Amino acid sequence: MLVADEFFLVAHNDIRGKARLHPAATGLGLAGGLLGELVLYGHIMVVDGDLSVVDRRPPADALAHTVLDQLVGEAQHRSVRTWLSFLAQSATTSVGERLSRAGVLRRRESRRLLRTTVGYVPVDPNAAAWPTTRLRVLLERSDPPPTLADAVLLGLIAAAGLDREVLWSTGPRAQHRLTSLVAALPAPLKELVAHTEAAVGAAVLRGGP
């Protein structure tokens, strides 16, 4: 499962699919996940607040391909914060649809006051809860060792204010391990996490994306 997919599942209730965060924080965390996937794939770099495309070859994942095409098509816009804000507007739907296509979530439409809203409900609550459980175990034990994608995911979870979900019922070792893993991220990914955290803080303060 990709970084943004696991972030989505941690950020939503594993039974009803209700968001655990302010919508702006959810969107920005997911946007960070989508950009993080492209950094991990070797398609983009993040340096000094700007991102640049270094490999235009299409990723295997359709959503990652779409995001990369957007970055290439709007190459004049390089600010990480700009792209986080832009991608955040549709990230919840985009990642929700990706998980729906994978059979992890079920798309649900509801009408309220002449308006249709779309939500995503877990097909299997145990599968939806697994990312949170997996990360909790990862932080409490030395084996299995975390992957780079795990460290990015944990960084984005902390940046969005979701760390309480993975740290619930854990001891001080887990908090220390989380902090250490994020601190050890390669510079482009560490910078992406920092920009995501700053964007989330600013958005929540003003009450919008």
DSSP states of 65-109 as a string? HHHHHHHHHTTT--BHHHHHHHHHHHHHHHHHHHHHHTTSEEEEE
33 three-class SS: helix
SS3 for 3?
Answer: helix
- 155-165 per-position pLDDT tens digit: 999 999 999 98
Exposure class string for 164-195: b at 16+ Cβ within 10 A, else e: ebbbeeeeeebeebbeebbeebeebbbbbbbb
- pLDDT tens-place string over residues 127-139: 999 999 999 999 9
Q: What is the mean pLDDT of residues 183-193?
A: 97
Among 86-95, 105-114, 174-183, the range scoring the smallest mean pLDDT is 105-114
- According to the model, what pLDDT value does residue 110 have? 77
Check pLDDT > 80 for residue 196: yes
The Cα diameter of the chain in Å comes to: 52
The mean per-residue pLDDT over the stretch 83-99 comes to 97
Give the pLDDT score at 208. 57
* 87 pLDDT above the threshold of 60: yes
Q: Which amino acid is at 54?
A: V
Structural domains present in the chain: 3-206 (1.10.3630.10)
What would the mean pLDDT of 42-69 be, rounded to a whole number? 97
Write down the pTM of the prediction. 0.93
